[in-house]
Structures are given as C-alpha cells and as structure tokens.
Amino acid sequence: MSIKEVKLKELVRTLAAEYFSRQSNGQSLITVTGAEIKSKGERAVILVTIMPEEEEKAALGFVHRQLSGFREYVMGRARMRRIPYFDVEIDKGEKNRQRLDEIAGAV
C-alpha cells in the first residue's frame, strides 16, 4: 500500500468521524473504525461500529442516507483531485474482536 493510499484512508476516516458525530441524533453511538479505498481511489468504504447493537439497522440506514451530504462535506474540506463515491459497512473485524473479548472475560 502506497503512502498516498494510507493518507487517503486516514483522511476519509477522520472526516467521516467528524461528520457523523455532528449529524447523529445521539440515539446510538456510531464509531468510524476505518476506511478502505478501492478502484484506485474511485470508491471508498467507511467501516463503522454501532452501539447498542439493537439500533444497528436503523443507524446504518441513517448513515446511508447521509452519504451525499458527507460527499459534499469532503469536497469542502479535502484537497483531492477526485472525490470517491462512498459506501458504509459494519466493521465485522471489530465486532469479532469485541466478541472474543466477551468470551475471554467470561472464562
């Protein structure tokens, strides 16, 4: 992975965390855990975790509805030649890590 890709991932992660923390209504905690850059920077996937887990579906729907606003937010704050199209996914790796911590604590 090139330095440019690493910087782009970190920029997307930071901007997403700022934007969604401002837009959230506080019913659930939306944490941006990372970003993946695909198709040579044309597409970016934002990885999130959502607490409580019961609100995951509603919060994920909220985040998906906010993506066009987030794209405008990035246009105004980042100097990028090409703004990627964004998508959001639940960070399954983080979810699995939390489950392992739960199991380890029960032993």
pLDDT digits (tens, 9 = 90+) for 18-45: 999 999 888 889 999 999 999 888 999 9
pLDDT at residue number 48: 95
CATH for 3-106 is 3.30.300.20
Q: What is the pLDDT of residues 45-56, one digit of tens each?
A: 999 999 888 989
pLDDT at residue number 107: 63
Concatenated DSSP letters for 28-79? SEEEEEEEEEEGGGTEEEEEEEEESGGGHHHHHHHHHHTHHHHHHHHHHH--
Q: Beta partners for 36?
A: 45
For 2, the 3-state DSSP assignment is coil
Under 8 Å between Cβ of 48 and 63: yes
CA torsion, ordered 28, 67, 49, 42, to nearest 10 deg: -170
Average pLDDT value over all residues in the chain: 90
Tokens of 105: 């604590």
Global pTM value: 0.86
